[in-house]
Amino acid sequence: MKNPIRHLVGITLLFWMLCPIEGHAQLGFCEGNSGDPIFTEDFGAGTTNGPPLPAGTTSYTYIDGEPIDGKYTISSYTAYYDWFNTTDHTPNDSNGKAFIVNASYTPGEFYQRTVTGLCENTSYEFSSWLINLHPSSGGCNGNGIPINVRFQIWDNTGTDLLASGDTGDIYDKSSPVWEQYALVFQTLPGQTSVILKMLNNGAGGCGNDLAIDDIVFKTCGDFVDITNDQNESNILVCEDYSPVTTHLTAHPDYSIYSTHVYQWQESTDGENWNDIVGETNQDYTPPTITSSIFYRVKMAEDLVNLNNSLCNTQSEVFDIIIVPKPDPPLSDYGTISLCPDQGEVILVTVPSNTTVNWYDVPSGGTPLLENNSTYSPKTAGTYYAEAISTMVECTSNTRTAITVDFYTPPMPIDEDLTFCEGSSIVLSAGINNMQYAWNTGATTSEIEVDTPGQYTVNITDANGCSAIKTINLVQLDSPVIDYISSDDYTLEIHMANSGNFAYSIDGISYQNETVFENTPGGQYTIYVSERNGCGTTPMEYIHLVIPKFFTPNGDFANDVFIPEGVETFSNYEVRIFNRYGMLIKHTKNTPFEWDGRFNNIALPSDDYWYSITIDGKTLKGHFSLKR
């Protein structure tokens, strides 16, 4: 079978290359094919420590608890001292135990085990998993002593060293990492057992704390692959192309064996294998094949070892997979009505290793959608689902038809609405006898609101089809007058806000502009109205027309200074001053005019100041006298 060690992913493999010891192998994995494990030590499982290793297995002392230097325990618990708290290495092990070692202060052997039942003149791979239990963040100020283990394989007398290799220094890590190490060795003539030894190369102290698990011995042979005459390593076809005929050849790489003997095997499930009687050559021609089957060769260097599972190895597997044509997809409906534009899909089901292509014709044509068991149709019509194997192009003989109709969904009309400031408005979905979901959380057909913004309602009919109506609501503000100004005969209204307003100085005639020209002086009530009926704002205003200059030269044109508008009031007072503040003319509650004289003496051209008080409010300014 395929050697799993050659295909390990994500495992750090350290190959510390040593100078040869007495001409024996160094640390490394079998480069060829291996057989099934013939010896495994996983140290058991359970929540209690122990039992101790058999007498003579180790020179260290067993302890049922926290091991100090030179002691060991067998446990599923590793978090002694400040060590990592981790599980053992054995896959799918519940409370699996490991051999946990706190190295002695003196380097030397700490484990040996005799492995029996081997075959003579046969190559084997020994492997074991190790972990440094001391974290880099633990004690020792970041300078924990690394673990460093030497593996040795001796003959059964302990006098001939067959293989040896060191792991090299395995330093503290930030997280626990199990790492695998291996040795390849060959038994001697007449030799059926070996002694495995592990030695600690480092000293004890702060660090050098390790655990060992999953010690395994396997046969090691050539890497052997199988190809057919087309140089294929497997055959994968649809049953349309069966029966299959082929010719197979095994190809050893001669990395281990110098000679080869073969036994071809077959299996219908890839797990249970049977010898094919009489097929012991390097080549094999299977009979005509109509269903899936697997082939491999069992191989050894000597015929005497071929049928001994402790001595032989297996090649890579040649798969011949004949994929049956899938059944047409299954559907719960032949005709279905959907809601348009809502992403609804039609669905079929197929077994695993099968996918679906969609068409708009019962045969042939171009797929509308590939590799999907659902399809979202955009138009009414009949759609066809074809099953296709994901292993190889192998399609169902027929397609499953599904006819699609579309309901008529709700069709609301969006609106742009306004309402007056300080009031409320009723918004309507506009379609009765539906289900409603407003973005306010309401579920009625109408809602009353008093806040501007965008409102939406999801309208759903009895078929489950829905549509969204959007209402943009704008608030119309009531007019707010900021102030009113006069400039000669021109009156202007200044607003504190904007809107669709109309303006009036008599409450009867309105205009669009805020400026009123040729307006006689007097007291006015100014009106500003919102054109959609959202309120009218009045403001009282005294419009005084005060000349900017007058020319008292006797030509009867602009000879007199008269502030227009004050006479409309019953309580007023007018004063005129020169630039030095001297009172020139004064009147109270009587018509006012000034001809530019003081004590019947014509005053010179200059700027003069006025002060007009009306009902307790005073207006001041200046004008020019020109001669």
Q: What percentage of the chain exceeds 90 in pLDDT?
A: 79
Q: Is the peptide bond before 324 cis (omega within 30 degrees of 0)?
A: no
Residue 556: what pLDDT?
86
Least confident span in 211-225, 459-473, 546-560, 574-588: 546-560
Same domain? For 341 and 388 the reply is yes
Q: C-alpha angle with apex 492: 489 to 496, nearest 5 degrees?
A: 165
- Segment 325-356, tens digit of pLDDT: 999 999 998 999 999 988 899 999 999 999 99
Whether 4 has a pLDDT exceeding 70, the answer reads no
Same domain? For 504 and 448 the reply is no
The residue from 437, 452, 476 where one domain ends is 476
Q: Which helix (H) or strand (E) segment is 342 a member of?
A: none
207-236 average pLDDT score: 95
**Residue 13 domain-assigned (yes or no):** no
Residue 11: what pLDDT?
28
Same domain? For 255 and 384 the reply is no
- Segment 34-50, tens digit of pLDDT: 888 889 999 999 999 99
Same domain? For 77 and 214 the reply is yes
Domain count, the chain: 6
Residues 126/118, Cβ–Cβ less than 8 Å:
no
The residue from 297, 323, 349 where one domain ends is 323
Same domain? For 38 and 166 the reply is yes
Residue 567: both structure tokens together: 């006479």
pTM: 0.56
Residue 189: what pLDDT?
86
Whether 30 has a pLDDT exceeding 80, the answer reads yes
CA distances from 227 to 222, 295, 312, 438 (A): 16, 11, 21, 69
How many Å from the N-terminal Cα to the C-terminal Cα in the chain?
Answer: 128
The residue from 267, 299, 323 where one domain ends is 323
Same domain? For 395 and 431 the reply is no
Residue 524 neighbours by CB distance under 10 Å:
22
- CA-to-CA distance for 500 and 207, rounded, in angstroms? 87
Same domain? For 108 and 52 the reply is yes
Same domain? For 156 and 105 the reply is yes
pLDDT band of 5, cuts 50, 70, 90: very low
Report the sign of the C-alpha dihedral through residues 7, 10, 16, 21, in that order.
Answer: negative
Q: Which range marks the domain in which residue 464 is found?
A: 415-476
Residue 168: what pLDDT?
93
370-391 average pLDDT score: 96
**Residue 211 domain-assigned (yes or no):** yes
Residue 422: what pLDDT?
93
Residue 555: what pLDDT?
87
- Segment 471-518, tens digit of pLDDT: 999 999 999 999 999 888 999 999 999 999 999 999 999 999 999 999
- CA-to-CA distance for 126 and 29, rounded, in angstroms? 8
Residue 542: what pLDDT?
85
**Residue 21 domain-assigned (yes or no):** no
**Residue 2 domain-assigned (yes or no):** no
CATH number of the domain at 573, please.
2.60.40.10
Same domain? For 160 and 276 the reply is no
Residue 14: what pLDDT?
28
**Residue 61 domain-assigned (yes or no):** yes
Residues paired with residue 209 on neighbouring β-strands, in sequence order: 102
Same domain? For 388 and 242 the reply is no
**Residue 12 domain-assigned (yes or no):** no
CATH number of the domain at 532, please.
2.60.40
Whether 9 has a pLDDT exceeding 70, the answer reads no
- CA-to-CA distance for 171 and 105, rounded, in angstroms? 18
Report the sign of the C-alpha dihedral through residues 212, 213, 215, 221, in that order.
Answer: negative
Whether 383 has a pLDDT exceeding 90, the answer reads yes
Helices (H), 560-609: none
CATH number of the domain at 158, please.
2.60.120.260
- Segment 88-121, tens digit of pLDDT: 999 999 999 999 999 998 899 999 999 998 988 8
Q: Is the peptide bond before 51 cis (omega within 30 degrees of 0)?
A: yes
Torsion of CA 215, 217, 220, 224, to 10 degrees: -70
**Residue 348 domain-assigned (yes or no):** yes
Same domain? For 217 and 93 the reply is yes
pLDDT band of 52, cuts 50, 70, 90: very high
Whether 2 has a pLDDT exceeding 70, the answer reads no
* Average pLDDT score, the chain: 91
pLDDT band of 561, cuts 50, 70, 90: very high
Same domain? For 38 and 138 the reply is yes
- CA-to-CA distance for 610 and 191, rounded, in angstroms? 136
280-295 average pLDDT score: 96
354-381 average pLDDT score: 96
Whether 286 has a pLDDT exceeding 90, the answer reads yes
Residue 110: what pLDDT?
95
**Residue 68 domain-assigned (yes or no):** yes
